[in-house]
Amino acid sequence: MAHIADQTIRFDKLGREDVARVGGKNASLGEMVCNLGARGVAVPPGFATTSDAYWQFVDAAGLREVIATALTDMHEGRASLAETGQHLRAAFLKATWPDQTARAIRAEYAALCDHIGREDADVAVRSSATAEDLPDASFAGQQETFLNIRGADALLDACRRCYASLFTDRAISYREAKGFDHLKVALSVGVQAMVRSDIGGSGVMFSIDTETGFDRVVVIDAAWGLGETVVQGSVDPDEFQVFKPLLTRDGVVPIVEKRLGAKLHKMIYASEGGGTTRVVPTSRAERAGFVLEDAEILQLARWACVIEDHYGCPMDIEWARDGQTGALFIVQARPETVQSRRDAGAYRSFTVSEKGRKLVAGLSIGDAAIAGRVCLLDSPREIDRFVDGGILVTGNTDPDWVPIMKRASAIVTDRGGRTSHAAIVSRELGLPAIVGTGDATHVLHDEQEVTVSCAEGDQGFVYDGTARIEEEMLDPAAVPETRTRVMLNLANPAAAFRWWRLPADGVGLARMEFVINNHVRIHPMALIRFDQLQDQDARAQIAEITAGHADKSEYFVDRLSRGLSRIAAALYPKPVIIRMSDFKTNEYADLIGGAEFEPAEENPMLGFRGASRYTSERYRAGFALECRAIRRLRAEMGFDNVLVMIPFCRSVREADQVLAVMAEEGLERGKDGLEVYVMAEIPSNVILAPAFAERFDGFSIGSNDLTQLTLGVDRDSELLADLFDEQDEAVKWMIGHVITAAKTAGAKIGLCGQGPSDHPEFARFLVECGIDSISVTPDSFIRVKEQVAKAEGR
């Protein structure tokens, strides 16, 4: 007979070595209480029942034989999974507590109430299987959690229901699939002081990017009320991403993503201490506002780093904020089980082309793409309708959906964030998924042929019909060393983290206009002169998009700096050269509100673009916002690896004017290590290279425009496509000349373009000319690196 002391253990007496006694979840809570409190990590107090208590309960009620017989009947086909689970749960719920175990739980609960200073304190009651939360298996959601439990009798009832939940249908099938012996898995119950997040907020965070494995960001999801809505995926939460290497630098705020979630509802107490909860709509103010302030985001991120450092592996963490005190707490932590096991060597790159009409969009999970037929289901009870290999489309998922999800080729849901059930299980199964689309179940229909693409960054898209999908295996470990630096061309912040494993020497070209077009979407002058805007449709769109920003110009600076920060973070601390905006007037006019501020030009390619805009009264104020975004990126967010490049600078006089304007806006060349480059893409840049070298730190050859302007060929003309040749002798003379001039002047020089990857002999030519760097698209990086190594070897 076990002693009463063997039935319960306080968290502050537990550690990681106690998994066999109290399961992974409770052992982890004890580990944090004992070791991380001194480092500032707040964990609510509590205690755990032991595996001995579970077996004593089982044996006192004669349940071992009941379990063994029921499972044998299921294996031999005499009972279904559902019948087996129902029978076993009923047996547990009818069983009575052994007196000794009941006394132990009552005594420990009374001690916890004394410690908290509240009689009949409300507690959270969570299941922790003794095989749970191991690094090679995720039991997330397999057993039950009961919140808002008050009083010893209610606590004992909740503990009994936890025991019964060891035999839910989903828990049985999961253990069957993983090969766990049901009679060797015990259940511990964690009893933890309840954080009043029902009137505050809560969520989940990972110490690693769950989509790419990028290990230098903390990803935080946040929603109002109890955290079950985030875990279950029934709410679209706010999402924050924090860059870990800059968290320790004083005075910087390295929050690289702040995405406002819809947060349409929240879970709250149904009654005080009654153990029941209910879901209610959120207020307009709650939907429009972020759950967390910047200081709270940074505090949680620092805690995630402390926890990860202590455990020595990426972590999956649940947090809560008490609505009465405003205090933050960590309520669970377990090893992350997907990216931490992913092969860090070779990985797949998908390219989707010949796409049909875009039907729906949401958050992308994974980085694959697949075509197939939609199977639209409302409930997991419709499993008989599901066709193996189909694309599962539904509102959202919970653990009951797992048997269907295992048979799917992709998953699309209306609701949920990156830490929702659908997202977590999709990652573990290796399936592409798009969550939080809002309307997939309304737009898509059964047996519709679609393409699900998660290969285009943070946003995933469902396209009509079957697109062309190409897959390529990339192996960063096989990349040769080169003297010539090979850098990346990046434009899409959403996809930047995909390429962090590539051994690139930095980012040679980050196109600001792409970020403006996709992340900001509004013409900067329409924000600055919003009150004078004549286009009423544009006014309405801008008002809606910038809601929450009293200063509409601040919206531009905030969105642009955060978008660029993800590119800056991907290869930090290596240099990231950001080219200031280089839209043509017709492209600027396509931005929301842009038509009123752009002239109509016969030939925008040779018109009002690049440096000429920055000092013009037509755009000077817009350029000031671009400069503010760069200044924030470097000074306030800490990304001092960011350098600046000026495009389409026609003359030395124009160069002097632009540099003067930049200095007025706080971007003075040479100050705080700021380097400023210029594109070499106009013959005048080549002819006067020594003069440009006096004013800039380096050049980047834009081979497309240089070819166009050297040969007098419109690069977009289909009729002249055969004449457009980067390897024409005249173009090569221009390139060779500017490389020699730059080297003579002591300026750096590189080239950004597709030519080196398409033509091995072109890469050899650049190396022979002595170029410092070549910047290419990520999917061609390895090929170019190999070509450069061969050229250097010659």
pLDDT digits (tens, 9 = 90+) for 364-399: 888 789 999 999 999 998 988 999 999 999 998 887
C-alpha 104/C-alpha 57 separation (Å) is 13
- Mark whether 421 is an active-site residue: yes
Residue labelled with tokens 């690094």: 135
Tokens of 345: 């060597």
Q: Kindly tell me if the per-residue pLDDT of 159 is higher than 60.
A: yes
762-789 pLDDT per residue, tens:
888 999 999 999 998 887 788 889 889 9
- Range of lowest pLDDT (25-39, 141-155, 208-222, 317-331): 141-155
Distances (CA, A) of 774 to 305, 478, 551: 35, 19, 40
Averaged pLDDT, 420-427: 80
Q: Would you state the pLDDT for residue 413? A: 95
pLDDT confidence of residue 140? 47
Cα dist. 43→285, 352, 407 in Å? 29, 45, 39
* pLDDT band (50, 70, 90) for residue 138: very low
Q: What is the pLDDT of residues 549-577, one digit of tens each?
A: 889 999 999 999 999 999 999 999 999 99
> Residue 463 has what pLDDT?
97
Mean pLDDT of all residues belonging to the chain: 91
pLDDT at 132: 47
Confidence at residue 721, expressed as pLDDT on a 0 to 100 scale: 74
pLDDT over threshold 90, residue 339: no
- pLDDT over 70 (residue 344): no
DSSP assignments along 138-192, one per residue: --TTSS-EEEEEESHHHHHHHHHHHHHGGGSHHHHHHHHHHT--GGG--EEEEEE
Q: What is the mean pLDDT of residues 229-239?
A: 88
Which tens digit of pLDDT belongs to each residue from 741-761?
999 999 999 998 667 766 778
- Work out the pLDDT band at 343, boundaries 50, 70, 90: low
Please give the Cα distance from 84 to 473 (Å, whole number): 45
752 is catalytic: yes
Q: Which of 221, 161, 652 is nearest to 421 (CA)?
A: 221
Q: How confident is the model at residue 548 (pLDDT cuts 50, 70, 90)?
A: confident
What distances in angstroms separate CA 108 from CA 34, 111, 606, one per listed residue? 18, 5, 79
Confidence of residue 40 (pLDDT cuts 50, 70, 90): very high
pLDDT given for residue 137 in this prediction: 45
**Catalytic option among 162, 265, 305, 421:** 421
pLDDT of 757:
65
Phi-psi region of 523 (alpha: psi -120 to 50; beta: other; left: phi over 0): beta
pLDDT of residue 292: 98
- Given a cut of 60, whether residue 135 has pLDDT beyond it is no
Residue 599 has pLDDT above 60, yes or no: yes
Q: What is the pLDDT of residue 393?
A: 97
Q: Is 728 in contact with 711 (CB distance < 8 Å)?
A: yes
Helix (H) or strand (E) holding 472: strand 468-474
Burial, 716: exposed, middle or buried (Cβ in 10 Å; 0-12, 13-18, 19+)?
exposed
Q: Token pair 């190999």 is at which residue?
A: 786
pLDDT of residue 346: 55
Cα→Cα distances 19→22, 23, 131, 509, 771, Å? 5, 4, 8, 50, 58
What pLDDT shows up at residue 426?
84
**DSSP state for residue 477 in the 8-state scheme:** G
pLDDT reported for residue 188: 94
| Three-class DSSP category at 637 | coil
For residue 280, give the H/E element and its range: strand 277-281
Q: What percent of the chain has pLDDT over 70?
A: 95
Least confident of 252-256, 269-273, 404-408, 449-453: 269-273
199 pLDDT more than 90? yes
φ and ψ of 502, to 5 deg: -65, 135
Q: State how beta strands 358-365 and 507-511 pair.
A: unpaired
Task: Reply yes or no on whether the pLDDT at 717 is more than 80.
Answer: no
Q: Which range has the top average pLDDT, 342-346, 391-395, 494-498?
A: 391-395
pLDDT at 725: 86
Looking only at the bridges linking them, the beta strands covering 369-376 and 449-453 are antiparallel
Residue 350 pLDDT = 87
Asked if 122 and 144 touch (Cβ cutoff 8 Å), the reply is no
**Which residues make Cβ contacts (< 8 Å) with residue 756, sequence separation at least 6?**
762, 763, 766, 774, 776, 784, 787, 788
3-state secondary structure of 457: coil
Q: How far apart are CA 399 and CA 384, in angstroms?
A: 17
Residue 427 has pLDDT above 80, yes or no: no
Do 452 and 412 meet the contact criterion of CB atoms below 8 Å apart?
yes
Enclosing H/E stretch for 773: strand 773-776
Element (H, E) at 239: strand 238-243
Predicted confidence band of residue 342 (pLDDT cuts 50, 70, 90): low
The phi, psi pair for 507, rounded to 5°, reads -110, 115
- Please write the tens of the pLDDT for every residue from 289-327: 999 999 999 999 999 999 999 999 999 999 999 999 999
Residue 341 pLDDT grade (very low, low, confident, very high; cuts 50, 70, 90): low
Q: Model confidence over 244-274: pLDDT tens digits?
A: 999 999 999 999 999 999 999 999 988 776 6
Q: Say what the pLDDT of residue 212 is.
A: 84
